[in-house]
Amino acid sequence: MQNKGLVKFFAILFALVSIYQLSFTFVANKVKNDAKAFAGGNPEKEIKYLDSIGKVSVFNLGFTDFTYNEVKEKQINKGLDLEGGINVILQISVKDVLKGLSNNSKNPVFNKALDEATRNRLGNQTYLDAFFVAFDKESNGTVKLASPEIFANKNLQGEIDFNMTDAQVKKVLAKKVDESVESAFGVLRKRIDKFGVTQPNIAKLGQTGRILVELPGAKDVDRIKKLLQSTAQLEFWETYKAEDFMAFLSSANEALKATVKTDEKVEATKASDSLTKLLTDKSTDSAATKKGNNPIFDKMVSQGGGPVLAVFNAKDTAAINSYFKRQEIKALLPADKVNAKLVWGKPTSVVDPKTKKETETVDLYALKGNRDDVAPLSGGVIVDAKDSFDQMGKPSVTMQMNGQGAKVWEELTGKAFTQKSFIAIALDDIVYSAPGVSSGPIAGGRSEISGNFSVAETKDLANVLRAGKLPAAAEIVQSEVVGPSLGQKAIDAGTTSSIVGLLLVCFWMVFYYGRAGWYANAALIVNLLFLFGILASLGAVLTLPGIAGIVLTLGTAVDANIIIYERAKEELREGKTLEEAVKTSYGWKGAMRSIIDANVTHVLTGAILFVFGTGPIQGFATTLLIGIFTSLFTSIFIARMFIDKDIANNRNLTFTTNLTKDWFHNFHYDFIGAKKWSYLISSTVVVISCISFYINGLDEGVDFVGGRTFQVKFEKPVEATTVSEELTAAFGTTVEAKVFGEDDQLKITTKYKIKDESASVDKEVNEKLYNTLKKYFNEGTTYDKFINTFDGKKLGVLQASKVGASISADIKTNSLWAVLGAMLVVGLYLVISFRKWQYSLGAIAAVFHDVIFVLGLYSLLYKYMPFHMEMDQHFIAAILTVIGYSMNDTVIVFDRVREFLAGNIKGSFKDVVNASINTTLSRTVNTSLTMIMVLLIMFIFGGESIRGFIFAMLIGIIVGTYSSLFIATPILVDTIKKKDIEEIEKRHKGE
């Protein structure tokens, strides 16, 4: 090996840099452990402790020191599946952005195009592109985007005029949408920075209009989702008084009687009696007051007063909304109230003193709207907001307005004082308070929002007001919640599988290759040091699939050594000296060509996985790609240094042990002769798989079809079918419950309202789940304890995830292109490398066979296996990994076929090809065996959540080994032209 000194220098330097980078992770973990011990299980106390030492030096190297904030920036961060916390992907509503840019255009073509884009958006197609397609189709040239009634309006004055073409307008709209996403990104960044979690992360996902938000250690699920999705559209409205709307409510109630039949068993409430007396001045015995005969009044909890029209149960708001949306009811509004906005207040919990039953009530308000639906004063005038306490000592939010806002505020409050009316303060169309003004106009622009707030709510409200409003609604299209105890369990499982896998691989290498195996093991240890050092220096996030990638690296790291060692054994058997054998095996014509070809296929599939994957899958791809490069360096250079030292000291090195020296030596099997049987077996498998696809289908996970999943831990074993039936009845749609690992743990899946991506629906689903399952838990298990995460949590929802309908279509499309793209790219590489399309065809056929085999097995067994076999992103990652490793085995065989066909081995074409396979059998078996060992360890110890993922790779590697021997090479042989075969045989028979 040339330049040994330089290699040693760089190896030592790289090792020192890796140790330096990893030292920050060790220091950060120590500080976190100190914080946990200090906090005693109190997460808020823990965060405050870490914040307090953020600028304190915690790591002194003598020549320099680092604060805790600097240390944590350089550590290896753990993903949410290891750390616990909340991860969401927010989709900024491009539809809302376009509506705003059009000044809420009423143009029918424009609005139909918006709806068509929502319904018919293709997987991986942006909403904006879908809108352009829909608009072109609907307008058919009759209406231009630059029409004054669409985008040539005051909102886009100076940027779009009515002379512009649709193509020109589209460019402006694309720019405006990007600006809106950028604005939303800035607003969300400000919000999460103030939320109070350690190491929050926010990132834009390409040009999709989606924003990833990760909050490690966050606990309060409902609060966080509300904080992220709130558009913070703060508005100040004048309100109507209760008496202004009594006549309308009575008329609406009468009109609804003809079409709405109520069968509510309610008591004749004081509210109904009072209203009837007030409106009709008749006895309460009239038909209007008979219980069960008043669609609106029967749902009232009590009459209102001041700005509150009436009070209703929260569960009845949807029905009341539907009544008020009817055209015949809207027609009953007096001419001076046609623009009135009927909105709800903030829900309030009320406990009945007799029954002790808790109910949630909501106040109904009527705002003085206008034709443009624009509030007299908006939150854009707010320059500062702080959480505080009002005169009664209750939590509130004080706000300071700018000069313009202060002037309007003074006019509004002066008018309210004169008319003895009220001003509603509404956030995202929810009225938080509607105070009157008793002391005259309020000057200076200072105001206060008070109401039924908790301290946390006022902090969040002040936070979003300071950060500003989102330019459009932000919908959660994907989310995942992981409890810290589940994350620790994943870490323990990953650590166990890593250690056992490492020991097993090391043992096998020493058992099979003797002292040379120790050299490979030393290279393996250095490889792990380099791998973690690079992860730390890149600021990579370590996930559970990422740990799986590291464990897989243990298997792949010795692949290059195995290929080199096997070649060296062949050279030694031919009578070469150790120095000559090592020099040849490390040469391009020895093992290097096979190693490079095999690893290029790995890199290509890993890169495709990184491009098309998201979140934890990218973590898997990252560790896999880094592992490929570090293992190449250590296998080729580190192990070589030990071998060269043996050569220099004249030590005997045989690359074998007494037990294994003759394994696979002089092995002769007619692989090509067995092709009829292998074709028959493989064709049968493919046919059975296709039949199973038709009959059984595949168990598509929520990643592909959308939905919500919950991992729920019960106090004792439960019957999955019973729980499924109970939840199905509660949700009104099919809910699937399956045992997940242990008998007292279920994985619950539902598609209930998955197309509605609002925070209120998420909370509704959580409440339905809790109310249905709470009978299985003791009385101390409250809603918060059941849904939210906290340190030491062992019961309730340990993990929850949601994939919206829109993002699931993108995931499915990406997955399809990833698999097809991997096959195509690797096939093209093999054509370039081997310069014959037959090699590529054989490899692609083998890989296609492997993919169909794994898919078929999952289709046949997913209903019966004790672990989950879902089609999701993890499964696609497994398939792509299988493609890479199947290619690896195939390339090793093909490389020897190419070498032998170009060499001087005597025999027929069939004999030469068989010799190629037989002489590489030891390489093929050993590289596959090390992979199978580590995968088996991960399957046993890696944890329930990745068991299906590992099983796919395990089967894929086994089948890939078979296909490289019995499918790829026979197809290569069968597709070689007869003329070429005759020429080859003429040369190899010495004619």
Q: How far apart are CA 32 and CA 50, in angstroms?
A: 8
Lowest-confidence segment of 137-151, 211-225, 403-417, 942-956 by average pLDDT? 211-225
Q: Are residues 621 and 877 in contact, defined by beta-carbon separation less than 8 angstroms?
A: yes
Amino acid 615 reads G
Token look-up 């884009």 returns 117
If pLDDT is split at 50, 70 and 90, which confidence band does 934 have? confident
- pLDDT given for residue 893 in this prediction: 82
pLDDT digits (tens, 9 = 90+) for 427-475: 777 888 787 777 778 788 777 776 666 777 777 677 666 655 666 777 7
Q: Are residues 464 and 234 in contact, defined by beta-carbon separation less than 8 angstroms?
A: no
The listed range with the strongest mean pLDDT (120-134, 754-768, 964-978) is 964-978
Phi/psi class of residue 744: alpha, beta or left (left: φ > 0; alpha: ψ in -120 to 50)?
alpha
Q: Are residues 209 and 94 in contact, defined by beta-carbon separation less than 8 angstroms?
A: yes
- pLDDT given for residue 650 in this prediction: 86
For 348, the 3-state DSSP assignment is strand
DSSP at 76: P
- pLDDT given for residue 273 in this prediction: 41
Nearest to 573 by CA among 656, 630, 502: 656
Q: Are residues 916 and 900 in contact, defined by beta-carbon separation less than 8 angstroms?
A: yes
Q: How far apart are CA 288 and CA 257, in angstroms?
A: 10
Structural tokens at position 491:
């870490």
pLDDT digits (tens, 9 = 90+) for 49-61: 777 787 888 888 8
Measure Cα distances from 209 to 124, 227, 900 in Å. 12, 19, 54
* 396 DSSP β-pair partners: 388, 450
Spatial CB neighbours of 169, under 8 Å, sequence gap ≥ 6: 144, 145, 146, 151, 160
Token look-up 């497994």 returns 878
Region 7-29 average pLDDT: 82
List the alpha helices (DSSP H) in 862-945: 873-902, 909-919, 921-941
pLDDT digits (tens, 9 = 90+) for 814-837: 777 778 877 788 778 878 877 788
- pLDDT given for residue 483 in this prediction: 64
If pLDDT is split at 50, 70 and 90, which confidence band does 792 have? low
- pLDDT given for residue 687 in this prediction: 93
Report residue 745: phi and psi, to 5°. -135, 130
Structural tokens at position 387:
């959480």
- pLDDT given for residue 876 in this prediction: 79
Q: Are residues 930 and 559 in contact, defined by beta-carbon separation less than 8 angstroms?
A: yes
Report whether pLDDT(599) > 60: yes
List the alpha helices (DSSP H) in 385-483: 403-419, 455-467
Amino acid 248 reads F
- pLDDT given for residue 193 in this prediction: 60
Amino acid 386 reads K
Max intra-chain CA distance, the chain: 120
pLDDT digits (tens, 9 = 90+) for 606-624: 888 787 766 667 777 788 8
Report residue 881: phi and psi, to 5°. -65, -40
Token look-up 């029967």 returns 298
Report whether pLDDT(565) > 60: yes
Give me the count of residues in the chain: 991
Residues 868-878 as b or e (16 or more Cβ within 10 Å = b):
bbbbbbbbbbb
List the alpha helices (DSSP H) in 75-165: 80-83, 94-101, 108-120, 127-139
Report whether pLDDT(688) > 90: yes
Q: Are strands 201-204 and 707-713 parallel, antiparallel or unpaired?
A: unpaired
Between residues 650 and 483, which one has the greater pLDDT?
650
Region 402-416 average pLDDT: 85
Q: Are residues 963 and 886 in contact, defined by beta-carbon separation less than 8 angstroms?
A: yes
Q: How far apart are the first and last CA of the chain?
A: 40
Q: How far apart are CA 924 and CA 932, in angstroms?
A: 12
Amino acid 551 reads V
Spatial CB neighbours of 607, under 8 Å, sequence gap ≥ 6: 621, 625
If pLDDT is split at 50, 70 and 90, which confidence band does 365 have? very high
If pLDDT is split at 50, 70 and 90, which confidence band does 198 have? low
Q: Are residues 738 and 732 in contact, defined by beta-carbon separation less than 8 angstroms?
A: no
For 239, the 3-state DSSP assignment is strand
Structural tokens at position 527:
């490889």
pLDDT digits (tens, 9 = 90+) for 577-591: 888 888 888 887 777
Q: How far apart are CA 228 and CA 211, in angstroms?
A: 11
Structural tokens at position 223:
């609060």
Report residue 530: phi and psi, to 5°. -65, -45
- pLDDT given for residue 282 in this prediction: 37
pTM above 0.75, yes or no: no
